[in-house]
């Protein structure tokens, strides 16, 4: 394990990922819309689903409840322990998205709802996507989440933290190369442009690629309204717009997260 990967594992070992999706308005939007996109694009239950980078099981458990067969692979041993110990327990193993410990064509669908965030080099992201193709049956579904190129600075502005020349410089750097500075409260991460994510999917051999905005364009308003009398109304409005504008090309990149959906080659 290289130094960057070790630092990423150490970050998540000490981070409450299991409780993250309940903490902030944008995270609540992320959870609701991710589950809706999974319901919309995954094969009907019972399907066999590989949840790569699935953390403590935030999405694996709802998929199990919906009747799917789910196996979770995560780089962080603490996440795997939480997935195994939760209710219901999730079949989970430690593994790297770039070299999955599973056989070829064993799953109807493969999810990468986190690995692309932390693979800084395009070559590594393509390795992960090609592994997803390898382990998914011909004609199966691959879905992967990415952080939008603009997410960090928009978050800082919405929550009143965009207040220094240093943050402006960091925003300019992310705009140039997509790489997050780990000293700003997050670990090593890569922020995608929409076209770049779609291109990586196609280069990995996936077809019918579509990219959705997860939280929609109004998630910064929901963050800014947190703790005010209009909090609930703004959150509900943001959710409605996230659904309406899910695949609207002109606003997809304004979401904090992107979700790419595609089909594996049919082998013919």
| Cis amide leading into 106 (omega within 30) | no
- Mean pLDDT computed over every residue of the chain: 94
pLDDT, mean of residues 183-189: 83
CA distances from 81 to 34, 222, 250 (A): 23, 33, 41
CA distance 111 to 149: 21
Range with lowest mean pLDDT among 13-27, 48-62, 108-122, 198-212: 13-27
pLDDT, mean of residues 192-215: 98
pLDDT in tens, 109-141: 999 999 999 999 999 999 999 999 999 999 999
- As a residue count, the chain comes to 268
Q: What is the pLDDT of residue 267?
A: 55
What percent of the chain stands above pLDDT 70?
99
- To the nearest 10 degrees (0 to 180), the angle between helices 231-244 and 25-41 is 30
Stronger pLDDT, 205 or 16, i.e. the higher one = 205
DSSP bridge partners of 9: none
User: What is the value of pTM for the model shown?
Assistant: 0.95
| Cis amide leading into 88 (omega within 30) | yes
Is residue 75 within 8 A of residue 99, CB to CB? The reply is no
Stronger pLDDT, 184 or 246, i.e. the higher one = 246
Domain boundaries, the chain: 3-263
pLDDT in tens, 210-228: 999 999 999 999 999 999 9
The C-alpha R_g of the chain, in whole angstroms, comes to 18
- Give the homologous superfamily in CATH for domain 3-263: Vaccinia Virus protein VP39 (3.40.50.150)
DSSP code of residue 99: B
Q: How confident is the model at residue 268 (pLDDT cuts 50, 70, 90)?
A: very low
């Amino acid at each position: 394990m290289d130094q960057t990967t070790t630092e990423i594992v150490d970050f998540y070992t000490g981070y409450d990922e299991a409780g993250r999706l309940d903490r902030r308005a944008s995270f609540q939007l992320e959870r609701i819309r991710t589950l809706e996109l999974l319901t919309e694009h995954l094969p009907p239950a019972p399907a066999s689903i590989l949840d790569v980078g699935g953390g403590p099981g935030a999405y694996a458990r709802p998929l199990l409840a919906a009747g799917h067969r789910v196996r979770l692979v995560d780089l962080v041993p603490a996440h795997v322990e939480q997935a195994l110990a939760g209710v219901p327990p999730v079949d989970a193993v430690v593994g790297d998205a770039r070299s999955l410990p599973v056989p070829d064509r064993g799953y109807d669908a493969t999810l990468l709802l986190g690995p692309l965030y932390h693979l800084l080099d395009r070559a590594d992201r393509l390795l992960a996507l090609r592994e997803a193709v390898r382990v998914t049956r011909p004609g199966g579904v691959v879905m992967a989440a990415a952080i939008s190129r603009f997410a960090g600075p928009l978050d800082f502005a919405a929550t009143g933290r965009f207040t220094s020349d240093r943050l402006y410089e960091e925003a300019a750097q992310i705009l140039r190369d997509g790489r997050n500075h780990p000293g700003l409260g997050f670990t090593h991460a890569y922020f995608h442009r929409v076209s770049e994510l779609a291109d990586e999917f196609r280069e990995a051999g996936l077809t019918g690629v579509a990219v959705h905005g997860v939280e929609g364009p109004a998630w910064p308003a929901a963050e800014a309204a947190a703790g005010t009398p209009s909090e609930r109304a703004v959150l509900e409005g943001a959710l409605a717009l996230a659904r309406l504008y899910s695949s609207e090309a002109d606003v997809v990149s304004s979401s904090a997260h992107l979700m790419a959906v595609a089909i594996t080659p049919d082998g013919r």
